[in-house]
Amino acid sequence: MTLLTIILVAFVALEHFYFLILEMFLWTKPKGIKTFGLKSKAFAEETKVLAANQGLYNGFLSAGLIYSIIQEDINIAIFFLVCVTIAGIYGSYSTKKIKLFYVQSIPAIIALITIIIN
């Protein structure tokens, strides 16, 4: 992997680790409620188990990307970057929030492009 690819893959991994923190630990806090535009604290409390599950999956994406860097395995990086891209596309479509696509999928797509170019 080139240095640029490693930096981009690491950025996507860090993003998803941050999502894990937001969803698993900050969902019912003001930061989580504001970040995800939740209706109310009560709604956040009612959905915190679902959010924690979602956060765990983001952690798996982050772990896979970090593992790809450690192993210097482009195929593992491609797999997890494609997973992130699809998750961002589906998340954006299902929530009708295009920002999700820009925040989640675009960095993964850029990392994939650097892999393809190199």
Question: pTM for this structure?
Answer: 0.92
Residues of the chain predicted below pLDDT 50: none
* Contact residues for 91 (Cβ-Cβ < 8 A; gap 6+): 97, 100, 101, 104
Rounded to whole angstroms, the Cα distance separating 97 from 74 reads 30
Domain positions in the chain are 3-117
* pLDDT (0 to 100) of residue 118: 87
* pLDDT (0 to 100) of residue 10: 98
Rounded to whole angstroms, the Cα distance separating 75 from 26 reads 33
* pLDDT (0 to 100) of residue 41: 94
* pLDDT (0 to 100) of residue 114: 96
Which is nearest to 18 in space by CA: 53, 68, 58, 67?
Answer: 58
Helices (H), the chain: 3-25, 30-36, 41-71, 74-95, 98-100, 106-117
